Amino acid sequence: MVQDLAVVFIYDDHTDTLKMSNVSRRAIQSTLDRAMFIDIPEGPETPLDDESARRLGALALRCLGEAHPDLAARLNLSTLK
């Protein structure tokens, strides 16, 4: 079911590549129940445009970079506002 979709990004240390996968939320629900989430400051009335996508992508890369020094060394991102 499409409404059950979750998108997962990982950094593979062995191949030094970013990977993305679509997975069923039901398949990972027990992990989600234990996860800490932060709210992305985009309200339901706010359009999600190119700038929103850029900021969200940069945030995801920075989060992955915190756990993977090799990836962090490659990041050349402007400061998020």
- Output the furthest CA–CA distance in the chain (Å, rounded): 41
**How far is Cα 75 from Cα 69, in angstroms, rounded to an integer?**
10
Q: Which tens digits make up the pLDDT trace of 24-60?
A: 999 999 999 999 988 877 778 888 899 888 988 999 9
Mean pLDDT of 66-78: 92
Please report where in the chains the tokens 């069923």 appear, as a residue: 24
Phi, psi of 17, rounded to the nearest 5 degrees: -130, 150
- For the chain, give every domain's residue range: 2-74
- Whether 1 shows a pLDDT value over 80: the answer reads no
Reported confidence tier of residue 66, pLDDT bands at 50, 70, 90: very high
**How far is Cα 26 from Cα 72, in angstroms, rounded to an integer?**
31
**pTM here?**
0.77
**How far is Cα 68 from Cα 34, in angstroms, rounded to an integer?**
22
pLDDT the model gives residue 16: 93
